[in-house]
Amino acid sequence: MERFVRASVVLAGWWRSARGWRIGLVLFVAGLVSTLAHAPVHSIPALIFGVIVLVLALDAARTRERRLRAGFWRSWCFAAGYFLGSTSWVANAFLVSAEEHAWLIWAPLTLLPGGLALFWGVAGSLYTRFAPDGPIRIGVFAVLFTAVEFLRSVAFSGFPWNLPGHIFEAGTPISQMASVIGALGLSAFVLFAFASPAALTGRGHWRVRAAPLVLSAVMLGGFWGWGHARLANTEDTFTDTRLRIVQVVVSQREKRFANRFNILQTYLDLTTRPGLEDADAVIWPEGAIPTVMLEDSTVLLEIEDALPEGTRLWTGVTRREHFPEGELYYNALAALRIGDGTIQLQARYDKVRLVPFGEGNPFVALTGLAGFQSLSTNAPYYTPGPGAQTLDVPGMPGFAPLICYEVIFPRFAPRGENRPSFLLNISNDAWYGNSAGPRQHLNQAGLRAIEEGLPMVRAASMGASGVIDALGRPVRLSDPQMNEALDINLPSALQPTVYAVHGDSVWIAGGLVLLASLQLFVLIASARNQRQWRL
């Protein structure tokens, strides 16, 4: 403890003397290193280091004459490194059609992390303005940065990717707290707990300064103990519903209309392997066959001839509707059944949350000037569907589809009487290659399962396919680089979780109570120390 305090004092002194681009570079590197806390590495000390460095830098910025500008600059630099490390894999999508989009690869490597960092820059500026002296500033830090993470999750269609709470591997004890406080509540805890060692610097009695660290340690122990007990005391049970999940390894560059029959044949060969008669449904991923499938009679005829009577096939499709004024395209899931010599459409879901610049473009008036509309290869733009749904297919438990990007949004599933029996995430991770992106996507899917108390079935092209139970633990997952057909019985759902019922209100109320208690403790302890000093 003494060594840490001495090192912190030295570091705090350096922050006070450092200026301009030098401190910005140090913070950028600290933010970049912090991303190692996320999947696939899950090196949590990396983010602890980064958050402490950021808080000490902001504390020093409070002594500057232009503290608001200094706070913004320092937080922005840290966040620019953090978001560059978190989202650099997005650049792979611009190389799929490199002849058209490679010249734009600078955008996801500069504009995306720089734009996301603006949220943190605002939080840093507000911190330098409103954070008080003493350990309570750690609570102010957590409140401000959690608030901007919430805004990042909803503003401009939202992008809640790699929240601080996503550092915990789904299925581990601490990740179980997502069933109570969700990923955003875990983020608030992470920001407070990881910043708490910085409170040891500054003035006041060491016991007062240590209060946030002690509180964080108690909370961490409580979270781990509760999560461990939840995992140990929840019995693994499975339903009689058996699913065949088919994964085909094909790069996004090869997913072209001209290749549709070769790709289709690979899917059919895997689908018709022995054991198909025991499967209640077959699942193919998003964008499985590169065509407007429901209109492509030759593709439908191939499927009809290959699959036996009664087969249910749930697959991602590009869907089109024709109107006198034009056409609308949808990224959809189609629940098909082979019956009476035809393919029947039993249910359909249209994707609601579209990937910016991949499926839709809110800034097309601006990007169009540079000749860029979207990265989509099957359609110029997609139209969002009406909303989240539970699909009821005859003879099957109800399920809520989450197409690719939608799985990163908390509480994006029907509840109450429409609560599904499981979540179905179909995804096309081939856009991002063998990068960290698909692995982070998988971990966030596991956290959604914990939040809802529902098993997650996943079919991902060049991403891990399989089944995750309602506690976020993988039941069985494929190798993303192998063609595979997985036969898995569906795990049972749990009762609706606290988070599924009440959302973020639980952790917000609890957090306010804890911060008020911390402030009261600091006031009492400080007053007692002052009396002792006078005596």
Residues that are catalytic: 286, 351, 404
3-state DSSP of 377-425: CCCCCCCCCCCCCCECCCCCCCEEEEEHHHHHCCCCCCCHHHCCCEEEE
Please tell me the number of Cα atoms within 13 Å of 185 on its side-chain side.
28
Nearest to 123, CA basis, from 155, 99, 150, 97: 150
Residues in the chain: 535
Q: Which two tokens stand for residue 362?
A: 């809110």
Q: Which of 11, 213, 47 is nearest to 145 (CA)?
A: 47
Rounded distance, CA 218 to CA 199, Å? 16
What is the Cα–Cα distance from 405 to 36, expressed in whole angstroms? 22
Tell me which residue of 317, 332, 334, 331 sits closest to 359, measured CA to CA: 331
The rounded Cα 216 to chain-centroid distance in angstroms is 24
Residue position matching structure tokens 């401009």:
156
124-140 residues labelled b (16+ CB within 10 A) or e (exposed): bbbbbeebeebbbbbbe
Q: Where are the beta strands (DSSP E) in 42-199?
A: none
Residue in the block written with tokens 């289709």: 264
The dihedral through the CA atoms of 56, 57, 60, 61 has a sign that is negative
DSSP state of 432: G
Question: Which secondary-structure segment (H or E) carries 313?
Answer: strand 312-323
What region, left, alpha or beta, does residue 426 occupy, with left being phi > 0 and alpha being psi -120 to 50 degrees? Answer: beta
3-state secondary structure of 244: strand
Task: Please tell me the distance from the alpha carbon of residue 377 to that of residue 181, in angstroms, as a whole number.
Answer: 39
Nearest to 25 by CA among 61, 85, 73, 86: 73
Query: Beta partners for 466?
Result: 458, 477
Q: Round the CA-based radius of gyration of the chain to a whole number and report it.
A: 25
Half-sphere exposure in the Cβ direction for 532 (13 Å, CA): 7
State residue 463 phi and psi, 5-degree precision.
Answer: -135, 165
Q: Tell me the residue type at 113.
A: P
DSSP β-bridge partners for residue 474: 468
Give the C-alpha separation, 397 to 402, whole Å: 16
The phi-psi region of residue 359 (left if phi > 0; otherwise alpha if psi is between -120 and 50; otherwise beta) is alpha
Look up residue 431 and give its DSSP letter.
Answer: G
